[in-house]
Structure 1
């Protein structure tokens, strides 16, 4: 028995701590795992009873860079502090901790609780200064080793990225070729990817593309990582946003778009991944690295569009057009403080535009104004201003709609053609086999039947899309398009034009609208419309009274009392007040009610 191991240690339990950093190491580095579990036999050989040896392996597959999330290490430290442990076994210091802070904390507990630390060769007593020095050095080396490993791995990745080769899986629409990324040879895949970017150039938001995909039964291709076969699946929000944010589709190789930063979260040090950084901050950027689907300018336009649609990105963004009644939601700006005004909906009345000031600093609400009068004024200005050449507009609209329909038709036909090719190839393989070889024949026959079933499903989906989404334009459709193109007010007021469509049309030509209250000489609202062309139009409309001016005007109250003293009924008083334009926000009956209260 080693002289450092006393009866005090043998009376307690021996803890064998086992850890490997990743799940891959657990499954592949079998020898390391066996060495660690063999420490239990070393504990028995040093004098501990077999039933007194505890295996602590809850932290398998977890990094030792921090004690956070390592339940096994936490249990070990807790039992050491409570005097239940006589020895801690580990093949090396790095298994217990690769952080000097966690390592020193454990050694301090072991020193006070008289616990020895044992590896494959040596027994250490942390209460002895020489042993403590050796353990300190081992812990420091383990921490620095992790840092050196990280530097070497990061350097290797960066060097590979500088050559434009650090791809794990090619984005949809690309495959690996002899010179790096190449366009997918499958025309149906290329058509589907190109159609997504074409739709985003005309749709107001990514969610609108998802609605279009559901309406047209559009499916997105994805190549299986093992078989490389194309699988068609419904388009999801995460996948769509990843495509729109990926600069690879602009022919640009980018590395370092999601850097990792160390931050404090609730007093704990954590590593978090930054969602997206500006192109100037990317670690590596190689233009024209491979064939593109869109230009770099189109990619940057898409990023700005996505940023403006992100309602949570900050008050400077407009947010995507939604179905709310407020026409100017997202583009209305407070004329007092310059902040973006919010559309406030109240079940008791119409919506309003409200500036809440800087709520993060506890400021009070800046001001609010009724929404419908402002919306009507801007709507009238928009319809009066948008009077282009009827012929040019009708031809342009017809061409745009036809192009969209043709693109969708092309994507469907390419997918059907690919399904037919797969079915024909399965048929040829089946017919080329000796009929007497029943094992192979049954397999190929099953594959042929599956390909025929896939073809039937695609053709059925195509038929449903043609019927529901009108992929092919009829002569009646073209006539209707020309008619609507010549009459923008008809399109604007059409029952099929939803609120989000009206907002999207407005944002095509209007950048922002500043709304400013004016109290002198009259109570009005000044509206400054900033057009996308940088021109500015200013209009002024009356501003309805709010709660603060509803019947508190002393002159109005005095006039009501005079009329009541003259013997007039409430409805007669209300009629006279309305005649001389003494009004509240709700005229008529509301005036009658106020007259009754004032006269009393």
Structure 2
């Protein structure tokens, strides 16, 4: 008899009845099962426990038994058993206590250690007995298998519907189920235009982040539908975030496709669950063309390729990425011709401007080796720019017309989105007004609340209308007739526009990415750039390496020769003025001065004007005075009288004199009379 297993020691402790139903629906609709579980109290009373010592634990009604997470009642039962307070544990079936073998065997182990009995509808078991424990373990395994079979049946029906594309899943915002249970576009035109604007903006900018930035700069909102809570189904509008835009771009439902298996549920050690995204190649079912969408499947595929290309900028290899700030024209498109790895970009300052350098650091980063090669970006970008102008010349007219149509369509889309937002604000304000007008004036609590809501809606409508008016004026100015005429002139102005420093570098990069897949660089005596164009065609550019700074600063031989020639007849200051007048400039494009000319003389060991005059026989004041036995004052007096010519004067007013050929002087005695006699003799001699 099972009752023989109940001893006095068991009766000294309390009896615990555990009651559980898996869902709240079962609690509401399957009341008979609940009554059967409560009826086990009578079994405990028959076995000898007083009614007041039979405790019912029914805190887990409506909770699944697949795990102990959030099952406070089961945790309480385990605690009572572990503390030795329970003499018997009762449950209608093993599945009521647990459907997880780990939880069930843990309970059996605790009951065996504390000599606690287990009772179900079939009888009483002693976990300390091997045979009873074996039977309890088998029942636990069968209970877990039963749960697996139930889930497999439901899963099989779900997969069968998914295989046909008929499984109903909550559609994303912008898509709704019609009365015939088919999916169509949301009847709200503002919602439709907002979603279409996301796809159009991404197609133009090529970046999800730039799409978000466009929405925020233009003051546009994006819809979100509440899925839970008391306001379930309501539509909310807010500024979009980067993750929200990525969700829209990655969702195949917007392309009219049915997709199943995009995510999986993973159980964590703490009993919780997490949602894991599955790679697209592992999706279970993908069926394009199942319902109406905002884009076609080909456009969706193109968006996925572009997003994958952008994502490479954040991966380990950093292969590409969207166009970013910086003048490097080939950012994300350069391949090292020596090792085959992608090359990065490093910026530096040169003569007040930012210049790029393409460098391959794969060997240095991965293997702690040397940098493979560095290539100056300014010469490569210049060569690629010339190639772009050459490639775009035949298609300039088509590009011009396409740009104009694109700007007009873009303006129409944003204007429609803003206008619809103003209309929605007007409708909500009118709805708030009607609610306020219908309220009983004596019910001041409700009337005041509705009046405040009406005023808030009116203020929002006024702000939206003012913002729409202001942005419409800006947009109209941007698309004026003069602007359209300038766009039509793009065909002739394209080379100049490409080189205009006011054009954003990202715009040039987008043009490059449309025409070029990648560029392989090899640096030797020259820089060789193998350009692979879209479509498979290739071009090879051979570019001269930039000169070293020492050679750039070196003066040209013809300039040195010109300075050498001018020094025969001019001093350093005069040479600098002549060079500037003839258009000569330094390597920094600056004008010459006295110091620059002196530096050239010293660097190239050119004789100065002073040395050249000395070679021609010019004498200093002291030398003339010594030669003619006169004082230096007399020499300066001869110069003022024109008897001798002063040809050169330095900074200290020291000069060189030119003596006329055949000039003589009669010898005389010293003193003042002698100097006057000498002067007379020189004057007479010069006149002869």
Normalised to the residue count of structure 2, the TM-score between the two structures is: 0.63
CA distance in 1, matches of 2:178, 2:138: 49
Highest RCO, 1 vs 2 (Cα 8 Å, sep ≥ 6): 1
Matched, 1:184 2:219: no
Larger deviation, residues 199-208 vs 436-445: 436-445
SS of the residue corresponding to residue 400 of structure 2 reads helix
Q: CA deviation at 1:506?
A: 2.1
Aligned position for 2:125? 124
In the alignment, structure 1 residue 232 sits paired with structure 2 residue 234: no
1:253 corresponds in structure 2 to 258
Aligned to 2:392: 386
> Is 1:403 the equivalent of 2:409?
yes
| 3-state SS in 1 of match to 2:263 | coil
SS at structure 1 position matched to 2:417: helix
- Equivalence map 1:404-419=2 (5 Å): 404-419=410-425
Q: Corresponding residue for 1:152?
A: 153
Q: Cα distance 1:11–1:54, how it changes in 2: closer, same or farther (>3 A)? A: farther
What whole-Å deviation, never above 9, does each CA across 1:123-155 have from its counterpart, x for those lacking one? Answer: 321222332233123211221122122122223
Alignment correspondent of 1:536: 538
Partner of 1:563: none
* Partner SS state of residue 360, structure 2: strand
Distance 1:527 1:89 in 2: 81
8 Å contact from structure 1 (residues 466, 472) kept in 2:
no
CA distance in 1, matches of 2:440, 2:76: 66
User: Following TM superposition, by how much is the alpha carbon of 1:483 offset from its aligned partner in structure 2, in angstroms?
Assistant: 5.2
Alignment map for 1:71-82 (pairs within 5 Å) = none
Secondary structure of the corresponding residue to residue 231 of structure 1: strand
Task: Tell me the residue number matched to 1:573.
Answer: none
* 2:299 aligned with 1:294: no
- Which shifted more, 90-99 or 301-310? 90-99
Deviation at 1:394, TM superposition (A): 2.6
The alpha carbon displacement at 1:209 in A equals 0.4
Deviations 1:74-110 (A, max 9, x none): 8977997797876555554335443334433543454
CA contact 2:67–2:271 (8 Å) conserved in 1:
no
Gaps of 5+ in 1: 547-578, 580-600
CA offsets 1:213-272 (integer angstroms, 9 cap, x no match): 00000111345665866432212223222211222222222222334578xx99x99976
CA deviation string 1:439-480 (max 9, x = no partner)? 999598777656544432321332343366668622343345
Match of 2:174 in 1: 173
Aligned ranges for residues 57-96 of structure 1 at < 5 Å? 64-65=65-66, 88=89, 90=91, 92-96=93-97
CA shift at 1:399, angstroms? 1.8
**CA distance, structure 1, for counterparts of residue 347 and residue 40 of structure 2:** 68
- Shift in alpha-carbon separation, 1:42–1:500, aligned structure 2, 3 A: farther
Kindly provide the CA deviation profile for residues 314-349 of structure 1, in whole angstroms up to 9, marking residues without a partner as x.
638522223355443322233344333344679999
SS in 2 for 1:289: coil
Alignment-derived partner of residue 220 in structure 1: 222
Asked if the contact 2:17–2:54 (Cα under 8 Å) also holds between the matched residues in 1, the reply is no
Please tell me the root mean square deviation across aligned C-alpha atoms, in Å. 5.0
Does the CA-based 8 Å contact 1:334-1:355 persist in structure 2?
no
Q: Are the structure 2 counterparts of residues 407 and 137 from structure 1 closer, same or farther at C-alpha, using a change threshold of 3 Å?
A: same
Conservation of the 8 A alpha-carbon contact between 2:261 and 2:278: no
CA spacing shift, 1:147–1:216, aligned 2, 3 Å: same
Distance 1:11 1:496, change over 3 A: farther
Per-residue CA distance 1:181-224 (angstroms, 9 max, x = gap): 22222222222222221111111211100000000001113456
Alignment of 1:278-289 (within 5 A): 278=280, 282-289=283-290
Using the alignment, how far apart are the partners of 2:407 and 2:345 within structure 1? 33
TM-score, with length taken from structure 1: 0.71
SS at match of 1:538: strand
Instruction: Tell me the equivalent position of 1:309.
Output: 310
* Partner Cα separation in structure 2 for residue 427 and residue 154 of structure 1: 50
What's the offset of the Cα at 1:157? Answer: 2.6
Closer, same or farther: CA 428–134 of 1 in aligned 2, 3 Å? same
Q: Structure 1 pair 435/117, CA: closer, same or farther in 2 (3 Å)?
A: closer
Instruction: State which structure, 1 or 2, has the greater radius of gyration over its C-alpha atoms.
Output: 2
CA–CA distance in 2 between the matches of 1:306 and 1:487?
A: 33
Q: CA deviation at 1:421?
A: 4.8
478, 482, 506: which is aligned to 2:512?
A: 506
Work out whether residues 326 and 371 of structure 1, in 8 Å CA contact, stay in contact via their aligned partners in 2: no
Equivalent runs, 1:406-485 vs 2, <5 Å:
406-421=412-427, 442=447, 452-466=458-472, 473-482=479-488
Which residue pairs with 2:602 in the alignment? none
Task: State the distance in 2 between where 1:332 and 1:46 align.
Answer: 86
- Further displaced range: 317-326 or 502-511: 317-326
Corresponding residue number in structure 2 for 1:242: 247
Partners of 1:89 and 1:354 in 2: how far apart? 72
SS in 1 for 2:136: helix
